[in-house]
Amino acid sequence: MGKVVVEMAKEEGMETVVVDPEGEIKSINQVAQTVDCVVDFSSPQGTREAVDFCVEKGIPLVSGTTGFDLDEMFKGPSEKIPILYAPNFSPGVNLLFFLLKNIPEEMRDLFYPALLEIHHSAKKDKPSGTAKRLAGIMDIDDVFSIRGGDEPGIHTIYLVGDGETLEITHRARSRRIFARGAIEAAKWIQGKGSGLYSMEDVWNMKR
């Protein structure tokens, strides 16, 4: 994911410093250049190192890494620096979050919700961070995960009612949609005060 972010950032004329365990700069602590923002798609350990680096330097952090407790990772640091966290940076998924959160309470009991998510075989966490967020919004107990091939990501919500079933699917066709959202987040967070933000703030979707 990080490679796609770097590729798109360069397309926009941005200068980047790449941290890659297999590259020239293997740790964020080796970064000597002055940077405006850190965009993190790594691992829980990598995110912890990114948080510490950003707090020390007083710069914002944008993170899309999953597989850890959000409060444990970000609660204290977000009191010192601006942090934007999102399990998914695509416009479509964030619109899906928004739509599901705005289902009238009176209608929720009319349907039984379930969720199926499919990702490429290299994805480590199961269910995905996006699936966990969707499950939290809809109070879903039945979450099913499939890992295989090179699938960027499919999430389908099933709302099963009496005599009808509603299926809502988001299908990612390219990882560039996630990179685009991360770059927009990195632009948006410049100049913001300390706090924990989300893509809802970027796209003014909070109601």
Active site (catalytic) residues: 119, 123
Confidence band, pLDDT 50/70/90 cuts, at residue 124: confident
The pLDDT of residue 158 is 98
Tell me the CATH number at 6. 3.40.50.720
For residue 207, pLDDT over 70 is answered with: no
Question: Residue 133: inside a domain, yes or no?
Answer: yes
Tell me the CATH number at 129. 3.30.360.10
For residue 64, pLDDT over 70 is answered with: yes
For residue 67, pLDDT over 90 is answered with: no
The pLDDT of residue 3 is 87
For residue 165, pLDDT over 70 is answered with: yes
Residue 10 sits in the same domain as residue 39: yes
Residue 108 sits in the same domain as residue 76: no
Residue 187 sits in the same domain as residue 154: no
What are the Cα distances from residue 44, in Å, to 38, 99, 122?
A: 15, 29, 16
For residue 181, pLDDT over 90 is answered with: yes
Domain total of the chain? 2
Say which residue, 207 or 162, is predicted with more confidence.
Answer: 162
Token pair listed for 167: 């299926």
Residue 104 sits in the same domain as residue 45: no
Nearest-angstrom CA–CA distance, 48 and 33: 20
Residue 17 sits in the same domain as residue 71: yes
Nearest-angstrom CA–CA distance, 8 and 179: 7
Residue 44 sits in the same domain as residue 144: no
What are the Cα distances from residue 161, in Å, to 29, 65, 156?
A: 53, 35, 16
For residue 63, pLDDT over 90 is answered with: yes
Q: Which domain holds residue 132?
A: 91-171
The strand pair at 195-197 and 61-63 is best described as unpaired
- Model-level pTM? 0.88
The pLDDT of residue 164 is 98
Question: Residue 207: inside a domain, yes or no?
Answer: no
The pLDDT of residue 166 is 97
The pLDDT of residue 88 is 94
Question: Residue 190: inside a domain, yes or no?
Answer: yes
